[in-house]
Structure 1
Amino acid sequence: MDFTLLSIKDIMNLCNCSKHRAMKLRSEIADYYGIGRHLVTLWHLHDYLGIK
């Protein structure tokens, strides 16, 4: 498991999406897991998107 904290730029690069979509995705993940937006990790992103 990778617990690297993700910035908006990291999410933009990993998902190949716009800044707006990356911000929305990070917010959705934070709400889903009940954590702060600044605490979203690579593990959360993979789990939320269903990537193994």
Structure 2
Amino acid sequence: WLAKITLVENQVLLKYFVISASLAGIIFLKGAEGRICKTFSAISRLSNY
């Protein structure tokens, strides 16, 4: 049945995949941003000693 998927359906699936992947990436980066900031502040505190 995969062979029956048309080019248009492929493009729609591709767009949906790209959008969901970039949304997941943004959410991941926003979550990682807080952890990275905490890590950097911890490192800077350690390096000050």
Query: Could you say which TM-score interval applies, normalised by the shorter chain?
Result: 0.3 to 0.5
Higher relative helix content = 2
Larger radius of gyration: 2
Higher relative contact order (CA 8 A, sep 6+): 1
TM-score, normalised on structure 1? Answer: 0.36
